[in-house]
Every structure is written in structure tokens, then in C-alpha cells.
A = this chain, B = another copy of it.
Amino acid sequence: MTERSVIHATFSIERTYDAAPSKVFRAYADRAIKRRWFVEGEGWDIETYDLDFRIGGTESSSFRFKGGALIRFDAVYQDIVPNDRIIVAYNMTIDDKRISASLATTELKPDGKRTKLVFTEQGAYLDGYDSIAQREEGTRELHEALARELARS
């Protein structure tokens, strides 16, 4: 039987991107662009990806790293203000074990021609399956992948 536990924690990440808020926002709203920086990557096998970017809409993906365990990400958009704010609730499972549920807020603020992004995750980390340090590290890598995506075009 699984030993049940919940650790609640909050972390935030700030980055400034060399792109206007409208371009950064589009990287979240457009399914093809979001898939490219949010789920694709060397060694990752994507089994499914879908995005319905509207309040109440869902985003889901399932993937494996180098043939390992099946990881699922399931999200529901809680609030969207174009070019300004995105709030999403998401949970993750690894081989059907739920490892976390989180509320993730992304705020975009114009900074001259650039964008200051403030990401805040308020998470419930479950049953000892995930660590906050690991989640924060993975989230930093995603924000680095977004920088590469914005530099592409």
C-alpha cells in the first residue's frame, strides 16, 4: 500500500526574453509552437500531445524519456488574459502514480521591447514521488527551451 503524503511548496522563476509579450504569449497559445518547446526534446518520445487554449480548455501530453516510464501531464486552463497572464492547473503521473498537482501562473510584463516573465508554481507534491528541487530544475529547463524557441524566429 502506498504511504500517502502531501508536501505543499511554492517556487518562482523570473526571466527576461528578447521578444514582445505578444510573441511570448503566442508561444503558449499556438499548438505547434507550444509542442515544440514544451514537450519535444532529444531523448523524449512523445506519444500524445493536445492543446485547447481557452479558459476551461485542456492540455495533455504523454511521453517517455529514452523508453522509460510513461509520464502523463494533464492541465486545465484557469485564467487567460491575452499577452498578460496564463494560469493553469496541472497534474502529473508516472506509470499511473500521481506525483503532483500544481497551480502555475505565468505573468508577462513589457520591459521596453522585451518581456519580463514571472512564473509561480504552487504545488502539492504527492507520496514522496517527486522533489521540489527536481520540479524547479525541470521548469527552469522549460523556460530555457522557450528562450531557444523565441530566438528561432
Contacts and interface: CB of A to CB of B under 8 A. Distances in A.
A30 to B, nearest CB: 22
A62 interface: no
Query: How many copies of this kind of chain does the complex include?
Result: 2
Interface string A63-97: 00000000000101011010011010101000000
Interface of A: 4, 6, 8, 10, 55-56, 74, 76, 78-79, 81, 84-85, 87, 89, 91, 98, 101-103, 105, 107, 120, 122-124, 126
A150 B87 CA distance: 35
A89 B76 contact: yes
The A contact surface, by secondary structure, is strand
Contacts of A122: 8, 10, 103, 122-124
Contact of A4 (B81, B91, B123): B81
Complex A-B, nearest 9 residue pairs according to Cβ-Cβ distance, in ascending order: A89-B89, A122-B122, A78-B101, A103-B103, A78-B91, A87-B101, A76-B76, A105-B124, A79-B98
